[in-house]
Chain A
Amino acid sequence: MSNAATFDTRTDSAIPVESPLAYSYRRSGAPAAGPESRVTLRERALLGQLVLRGGAIVLDEAVREVLGLGLPGEPQGLVQDERGERSIQWLSPDEWLVIVPGGEEFELETRLRERLGDAHYAISDVSGGQTLLELEGEAARELLMKTVIYDVHPSHFPVGRGVTTVFAKATAIVRRPSEERWELVVRRSFADYCYRWLLDAGEEYAIGVVR
């Protein structure tokens, strides 16, 4: 195990916990999705999120063994398990974002560290620092076009892709885990801005929030 400090930041479920959008729901509300909604927004809150840094070969072997998933082979790649619950996304040539169900991240980090031994790598827990928003519906892509500067056309942004790009005047990770669904990973402190932006830009599509 490498000489780094690990820290399980989670505790028993009786302790109240607030997602990054908790304030936004109170402040801006959450318009219900209806039959006219051409796009819906849903927060997948409190997931486990780890940033992996290191050499691709070493890390690939470790995540295959521990998580059962290999690193994406290409830049902007996104791979996920069969149920779509665990994913690994390319962030840079030596950086990946791993998202797992909330609560799994500490054990995953611990096992990866055991597996990686003395190799040079880094794992940072960022679960509290970002949240995942899902967009679904026929207007989702146009809503993204209003918002991100990256080309989200299906010919350029197929399923299995994820990028870090400019989101309005903030930044976000944009991912396409399936044909129908887009995901945004936004930083906690920017989450309210992103939420308000999406509601505003989505108004003409009767955007609804699924809670």
Chain B
Amino acid sequence: MSQSKKQVHRLAKGGRIDRSRTLSFTFNGQSYQGHPGDTLASALLANGVDIVNRSFKYSRPRGIVAAGAEEPNAIVQLGSTEAAQVPNVRATQQALFAGLTARSTNGWPNVQRDLMGLFGKLGGKFMPPGFYYKTFMAPASLWMTYERYIRKAAGLGRSPMEADPDTYDHLHQHCDVLVVGGGAAGLAAALAAARSSARVIVADEQEEMGGSLLDSRETLDGKPADQWVAQVVKELAGYDNVTLLPRTTANGYHDHHFVTLHERRTEHLGETAPLVKGRRQVRARMHRVRAGQVILATGAHERPLVYAGNDVPGNMLAGAVSTYIRRYGVAPGHKLVLTTSNDYGYRAALDWKEAGREVVAIVDARQSPAGDWVEAARAQGIKIITGSAVIEAKGGSRVSAARVAKIDIDAFQVSGPAQELACDTIASSGGYSPVIHLASHTGARPTWRDDILGFVPSLVKGVHACGGANGTYALGEVLAEGVEAGIKAAAVTGHAAPAVSLPQVKALKQGPAAPLFQVPHEKPTLRAPKQFVDLQNDVTAAGIELATREGFESIEHVKRYTAMGFGTDQGKLGNINGMAIAARCLGRPIPEVGTTVFRPNYTPVTFGAIVGRHCRDLFDPERYTALHQWHVEHGAEFEDVGQWKRPWYYPQTVNGKVETLHEAVARECSAVREKVGILDASTLGKIDIQGPDAREFLARVYTNKWEKLAVGKCRYGLMCKDDGMVTDDGVTSCLADNHFLMTTTTGGAAAILEWLELWHQTEWPELDVYFSSVTDHWATMTITGPEARKLLAEITDIDLDKESFKFMEWRAGKVAGVPARVYRISFTGELTFEINVQANYAMHVWQTLFKHGEKYGLTPYGTETMHVLRAEKGFIIVGQDTDGSVTPEDLGMQWCVGYDKPFSWIGKRALTRSDTKRENRKQLVGLKPKDPKVVLEEGAQIVFDPKHAIPMPMAGHVTSSYYSPTLDSGFALAVVKGGHQKMGETVYLPMADGQTHEAKIVSPIFYDPKGERQNV
């Protein structure tokens, strides 16, 4: 093992880390050490790693700024192997584990010596403010050029190129009260709700619950705050009605309190999920929560001040400095200058001093700050420079000094000479911004509050905000608000909460904050050194000013023009500053400028969690018939029909060679035309229709007549929508006077059942009829071909004589000893029996048929052969030969339309509109290619005059096209304008490759036009 560097910034004591154990990890190829309890960010800081990335646009060196989800710079790519790659992880949110391997996301070829930096900030020149906007306006070809460059240079992370070994899943959760955030407010709210016995879920994105209490200087009941946290978490964990979800981020707030939580279950343990007793655990889980009430206790993000050079490593948020010292035992530097507009910032200086490091000065924008922490700083002898701010940070790869000057906030100018204070760390605090992202997802626009200088969420019904999320920062008030929200939310869901006694908190005296966002510089903003607003997207104050000068007044336009708040950042750190700057430039108050809309997700969610288990062979349901096993064993190739897997064809091995589709279909077709074939037709939809008005109902939903269909008979029916267009077809049989069995197309089964229910429930509830799906109950085996009768006769007691069992009739009896309904209908034009048995018996009947069928040449055939055979007979397939714009007459199926039926059946009225009677509608015809070897392309466009100048008028298109072994020719069905009157005429099909096919319009019935073969 190579020698690891020392943890130069690690404090000797303090923090929530376990110094007794050491964890080795690798960052950008260099080995380091940290401790359990560290995040990757705290461990990097402990090791004195200043530069963690290169910036998106200007390729400037960047260091860690924050300690939580708002971190803009420390965005890394995880993974020691290809399969384990995870992009865009915030180092501040990644727990350290032994062997963790991370790389900077940006910075090509490496962060220390950046190629782009040497080339003179190429990116900056290429991407001025408005880059996206201007580029999208440019020809698309230019974007392609840019995009490759940007992706490579900006490094948006990359996805793994190998399969992910981990599993992910979803959990459907339901609760009365969802508490988002496990800090002071969230825990107080959860406690109140939990005691009411409401079902409570508490989600917190950090490694442990407690939020800011884990690094607080304040005490509860005189004890360190984390003791209260431990006690509350213990109580909550003891309740059956509470689900605690640490490491879980609420990323999206959707309609009606549907919230998606992303739980990282094993990402703190290793880069792939560990095995427990040999079983792989779920790595990440999406909780799909339907909540009764939602409590947003999401806290607040500290705002940095915007000053020149504020992106040089060593510039940090004041609160983050405290968190690193108090929670992780890391003081990320030696000499601190704090620049603040408020009392909260003072905490960093106090913690820094207590850690034994030097506080050079506190620079406070206010003239006369006063408050408990200000006094504490004074008492510690820390130098406080008032009415001033850090106007510029000096330094290259790390802060070397702070330039401090008096400022005039109202006039936005520097009002005194600058002095330079040597330091290596500048902590800044511009106050806090409530985390309102989730509330924004609901569509509610936030409200500006002048007293806290921040937006607070507007709330839709059922949402409560408390604590920092609500702009309340004093700990005592935060806890009280939490409890109140918890009681209220529980009460709405019908659970009365007992009183909760709050721990004693000493109220801190605080002075008002100054409204400082961008710090003025001696030079005007456009000429001053860069003052960064959005570090992740490299948006500067100058960029925003430029945008407003170019006329962008809406904050949404400024956002798009500058890219502020784009991407995974979602404006956590920079948005309020950006809006304040835009407001200043536009001379308007902040609330008038408003805020942009935050969108899901709050932080990136791994695709694994989004997909869950719906992947690989569980991606979509595969529906099987009762005969599936047989098809698999007999080498069937399968075709997807809806969710069904249907045998497509059964390639045989002939002389050691596996048949092609073409060869197999030719063989299967011949078998049906000459001997006997068998098809698994179980997938057809079957609807059981019972009731005295069943017949009347059929007459209303079908185009043809049903009043005279006798028991034992079957009839083909065509179904239209009320616009007169064909929507389904199938054979319906009369089982008894009040009892029918309707068959539908395979794909239409569910939709047709819903269609029947729609009409029955909404228009004709007075008709006494019921519909039930029996699709899966029956297995259907179609035997078809000249030998079909002989074969069936061997194993049935049904009289198959052609006079006693006619075409379009059905009979009940036994087949292979199994009760069966046999239907004499035909989709091939040959003598056909459709054998229906209860599905559990199907395999036995099927195998018995084969036992007896060998001598007749019984051949299984698939959907491809079925298509060829039916097309030879001109039988349509709804959805292939029709597309929702085809009437029965267009299909030449007037014989199937009962215009004189008494009730105005669905579709009838529309069929008398002038457009549906138009003579040059596209009509179904047959096409015979001039060259019999040609199989026309399905979808090919048809023209009457191939010499016509382009664009040629289109006359129609090919709907079905096959090679027919029976005809020894290609043939097709097509819809052609006025086609019924054009029999014998020639049409042309110009193809993409330049050749033009010639075909003759013929009858769509190519084979046995009189239908004699099916009647034998």
> Per a CB cutoff under 8 Å, which of B618, B629, B772 touches A23?
B629
- How far does the Cβ of A208 sit from chain B's closest Cβ, in whole Å? 13
**Cα A22 to Cα B840 with chains together (Å):** 10
A83 within 8 Å of B by Cβ?
no
B506 within 8 Å of A by Cβ?
no
A86 within 8 Å of B by Cβ?
no
- How far does the Cβ of B279 sit from chain A's closest Cβ, in whole Å? 6
A148 within 8 Å of B by Cβ?
yes
When A4-B739, A5-B736 are in contact, do A196 and B624 touch as well, CB less than 8 Å?
Answer: no
B624 touches A17 (CB 8 A): no
| A-facing residues in B167-196 (Cβ within 8 Å) | 167, 169-174
B625 touches A9 (CB 8 A): no
> Per a CB cutoff under 8 Å, which of B623, B629, B776 touches A129?
B776
A192 touches B613 (CB 8 A): no
When A122-B770, A196-B618 are in contact, do A129 and B628 touch as well, CB less than 8 Å?
Answer: no
Q: 0/1 per residue, B265-293, Cβ < 8 Å to A?
A: 00000000000110111100000101000
Stretch at the interface among B321-329, B685-693, B968-976: B685-693
User: Which of chain B's residues has its CB closest to A148's CB?
Assistant: B172
When A11-B814, A206-B279 are in contact, do A23 and B770 touch as well, CB less than 8 Å?
Answer: no
B777 touches A125 (CB 8 A): yes
A178 within 8 Å of B by Cβ?
no
A30 within 8 Å of B by Cβ?
no
- B711 contacts across to A, CB distance below 8 A: 5
- B983 contacts across to A, CB distance below 8 A: none
User: Which of chain B's residues has its CB closest to A24's CB?
Assistant: B624
When A124-B774, A153-B174, A201-B613 are in contact, do A4 and B736 touch as well, CB less than 8 Å?
Answer: yes
- How far does the Cβ of B749 sit from chain A's closest Cβ, in whole Å? 10
Q: 0/1 per residue, A126-160, Cβ < 8 Å to B?
A: 11111000000000001001101111010110000
B171 touches A145 (CB 8 A): yes
- How far does the Cβ of B510 sit from chain A's closest Cβ, in whole Å? 44
> Per a CB cutoff under 8 Å, which of B171, B622, B691, B739 touches A193?
B622
- B172 contacts across to A, CB distance below 8 A: 145-146, 148-151
B776 touches A189 (CB 8 A): yes
**Cα A121 to Cα B768 with chains together (Å):** 8
User: Which of chain A's residues has its CB closest to B621's CB?
Assistant: A193
| A-facing residues in B607-665 (Cβ within 8 Å) | 613-614, 617-618, 620-626, 628-629, 644
A203 within 8 Å of B by Cβ?
yes
- A2 contacts across to B, CB distance below 8 A: 690, 738
B819 within 8 Å of A by Cβ?
yes
B738 touches A188 (CB 8 A): no
A200 within 8 Å of B by Cβ?
yes
When A11-B814, A122-B690 are in contact, do A128 and B776 touch as well, CB less than 8 Å?
Answer: yes
- A123 contacts across to B, CB distance below 8 A: 690
B688 touches A122 (CB 8 A): yes
- A155 contacts across to B, CB distance below 8 A: 199
- How far does the Cβ of A118 sit from chain B's closest Cβ, in whole Å? 9
**Cα A175 to Cα B620 with chains together (Å):** 24
> Per a CB cutoff under 8 Å, which of A3, A7, A14, A189 touches B819?
A7
Q: 0/1 per residue, A1-39, Cβ < 8 Å to B?
A: 011110111111011111110110010000000001000
User: Which of chain A's residues has its CB closest to B741's CB?
Assistant: A5
| A-facing residues in B782-831 (Cβ within 8 Å) | 812, 814, 816-819, 821
**Cα A193 to Cα B620 with chains together (Å):** 9
- A125 contacts across to B, CB distance below 8 A: 774, 777
When A146-B170, A197-B618 are in contact, do A203 and B279 touch as well, CB less than 8 Å?
Answer: yes
- B690 contacts across to A, CB distance below 8 A: 2, 4, 53, 121-124
- A54 contacts across to B, CB distance below 8 A: 770
Q: 0/1 per residue, B815-853, Cβ < 8 Å to A?
A: 011110100000000000000011111111000000000
> Per a CB cutoff under 8 Å, which of A14, A129, A197 touches B839?
A129
When A4-B690, A170-B621 are in contact, do A17 and B739 touch as well, CB less than 8 Å?
Answer: no
A190 touches B623 (CB 8 A): yes
B737 within 8 Å of A by Cβ?
yes
B307 within 8 Å of A by Cβ?
no
- How far does the Cβ of A93 sit from chain B's closest Cβ, in whole Å? 11
B170 touches A10 (CB 8 A): no
When A128-B839, A203-B279, A204-B282 are in contact, do A190 and B621 touch as well, CB less than 8 Å?
Answer: yes
B625 touches A128 (CB 8 A): no
- How far does the Cβ of A47 sit from chain B's closest Cβ, in whole Å? 11
- How far does the Cβ of A12 sit from chain B's closest Cβ, in whole Å? 7
- B816 contacts across to A, CB distance below 8 A: 15
**Cα A168 to Cα B622 with chains together (Å):** 12
- How far does the Cβ of B84 sit from chain A's closest Cβ, in whole Å? 20
- How far does the Cβ of A138 sit from chain B's closest Cβ, in whole Å? 14
A11 touches B618 (CB 8 A): no
| B-facing residues in A54-68 (Cβ within 8 Å) | 54
B738 touches A168 (CB 8 A): no
A161 within 8 Å of B by Cβ?
no
A46 within 8 Å of B by Cβ?
yes
When A11-B817, A17-B844 are in contact, do A168 and B169 touch as well, CB less than 8 Å?
Answer: no
Instruction: Count A-side interface residues using an 8 Å CB cutoff.
Output: 63
B473 within 8 Å of A by Cβ?
no
| A-facing residues in B73-88 (Cβ within 8 Å) | none
A17 touches B840 (CB 8 A): yes
A146 touches B171 (CB 8 A): yes
A188 touches B626 (CB 8 A): yes
> Per a CB cutoff under 8 Å, which of A3, A11, A14, A189 touches B624?
A189
| A-facing residues in B315-374 (Cβ within 8 Å) | none
A187 within 8 Å of B by Cβ?
yes
- How far does the Cβ of B65 sit from chain A's closest Cβ, in whole Å? 38
**Cα A169 to Cα B622 with chains together (Å):** 10
- A15 contacts across to B, CB distance below 8 A: 816-818, 841, 844
| B-facing residues in A39-85 (Cβ within 8 Å) | 46, 51, 53-54
- A204 contacts across to B, CB distance below 8 A: 276, 279-282
- B865 contacts across to A, CB distance below 8 A: none
| B-facing residues in A162-211 (Cβ within 8 Å) | 168-170, 187-190, 192-193, 196-197, 200-201, 203-204, 206
- How far does the Cβ of B638 sit from chain A's closest Cβ, in whole Å? 14
**Cα A161 to Cα B277 with chains together (Å):** 35
A146 touches B613 (CB 8 A): yes
- A23 contacts across to B, CB distance below 8 A: 624, 628-629
User: Which of chain B's residues has its CB closest to A166's CB?
Assistant: B172
Most buried by B among A14, A145, A206: A145
B859 within 8 Å of A by Cβ?
no
User: Which of chain A's residues has its CB closest to B842's CB?
Assistant: A18
**Cα A11 to Cα B644 with chains together (Å):** 28
**Cα A15 to Cα B842 with chains together (Å):** 11
B626 touches A5 (CB 8 A): no
**Cα A51 to Cα B277 with chains together (Å):** 44
- A142 contacts across to B, CB distance below 8 A: 171
**Cα A146 to Cα B169 with chains together (Å):** 7
User: Which of chain A's residues has its CB closest to B690's CB?
Assistant: A122
**Cα A151 to Cα B775 with chains together (Å):** 29
Q: List chain B positions with a Cβ less than 8 A from chain A.
A: 167, 169-174, 199, 276-277, 279-282, 288, 290, 613-614, 617-618, 620-626, 628-629, 644, 683, 688, 690-692, 711, 735-739, 768, 770, 772-779, 812, 814, 816-819, 821, 837-844
Sampled A-B contacts (16; CB under 8 Å): A3-B692, A4-B690, A15-B817, A120-B691, A124-B690, A126-B772, A128-B841, A129-B774, A149-B172, A149-B288, A189-B624, A189-B683, A189-B776, A190-B623, A192-B628, A204-B282
Q: List chain A positions with a Cβ less than 8 A from chain B.
A: 2-5, 7-12, 14-20, 22-23, 26, 36, 46, 51, 53-54, 94, 120-130, 142, 145-146, 148-151, 153, 155-156, 168-170, 187-190, 192-193, 196-197, 200-201, 203-204, 206
Closest CB pairs A-B (n = 7): A129-B776, A129-B777, A9-B838, A122-B690, A128-B838, A122-B770, A5-B735
12 other contacts beyond A18-B840, A145-B171, with CB at 8 A cut-off? A3-B739, A9-B819, A9-B841, A15-B841, A20-B626, A26-B629, A128-B778, A129-B777, A146-B613, A149-B172, A155-B199, A193-B623
